[in-house]
Amino acid sequence: GNSVTQMEGPVTLSEEAFLTINCTYTATGYPSLFWYVQYPGEGLQLLLKATKADDKGSNKGFEATYRKETTSFHLEKGSVQVSDSAVYFCALKGAGNNRKLIWGLGTSLAVNP
Amino acid sequence: EPEVTQTPSHQVTQMGQEVILRCVPISNHLYFYWYRQILGQKVEFLVSFYNNEISEKSEIFDDQFSVERPDGSNFTLKIRSTKLEDSAMYFCASSERDSSNQPQHFGDGTRLSIL
């Protein structure tokens, strides 16, 4: 079945450092891929998405490229801020009638000033 | 920006009691979902709902669980006789359409603690 594997955290970075959070997936067909973010005390917010191979999703300085050849959707940001401290979730939604989101475990990011 | 709202934010219940978690999806959305996250584990799909009926459910969603859209705005999850292992964060989500590329929009969650 479909699955998502995310790099384990926690990840601790200094402000302005480069961020990569790895995400790989297993799926039949052509899934859509999402990154959600959960700030402390809040719900799951959509950060970005990509719906076909080679698409790049971007938002708030974060980017992720849908790589079908490596079945990956790694999240990157060139210069993190303290306000980016949160838990980041990679998720996929299968093609066809698969309505549900399949989730990675989540990666906690702490950015220090 | 429209939001999904969930109440209560935290529910504490004795084992064996019934609990109802409430959600108000985004008003023009037609597809509704419940997920849960047990501490330290992945977010898990429970059920999806469209046109006043369940469209898909997971193995977790057994006879103890039910969902309802009692009026034009609320979407509820009921657990009939709670167990200790039902303790989790429960998230409601909605989407405008159900195609693969449509994102789901989530509420802030209800933390359910079973004693």
Q: Decide if A100 and B100 are in contact by the 8 Å CB cutoff.
A: no
Residue B72 has pLDDT above 80, yes or no: no
CA B103 – CA A109 distance, rounded (Å): 23
Residues B95/B103, Cβ–Cβ less than 8 Å:
yes
Structure tokens belonging to residue A113 = 């000033």
Q: Decide if B103 and A34 are in contact by the 8 Å CB cutoff.
A: yes
Residue B96 has pLDDT above 70, yes or no: yes
- Closest by CA position to B102, among listed A34, A59, A3: A34
Residues of A in contact with B44 (CB under 8 A): 103
* pLDDT score at A8: 84
Residues of A in contact with B26 (CB under 8 A): none
Mean pLDDT computed over B56-73: 92
CA A30 – CA A35 distance, rounded (Å): 17
Residue B55 has pLDDT above 80, yes or no: yes
> Residue B14: left if φ>0, alpha if ψ -120 to 50, beta else—which one?
beta
Residue B98 has pLDDT above 80, yes or no: no
CA A39 – CA A18 distance, rounded (Å): 19
| Per-residue pLDDT reduced to its tens digit, A14-47 | 999 999 999 999 998 889 999 999 998 888 999 9
Q: Decide if B44 and A98 are in contact by the 8 Å CB cutoff.
A: no
Q: How many residues does chain B have?
A: 115
B73 interfacial to chain A (CB closer than 8 Å): no
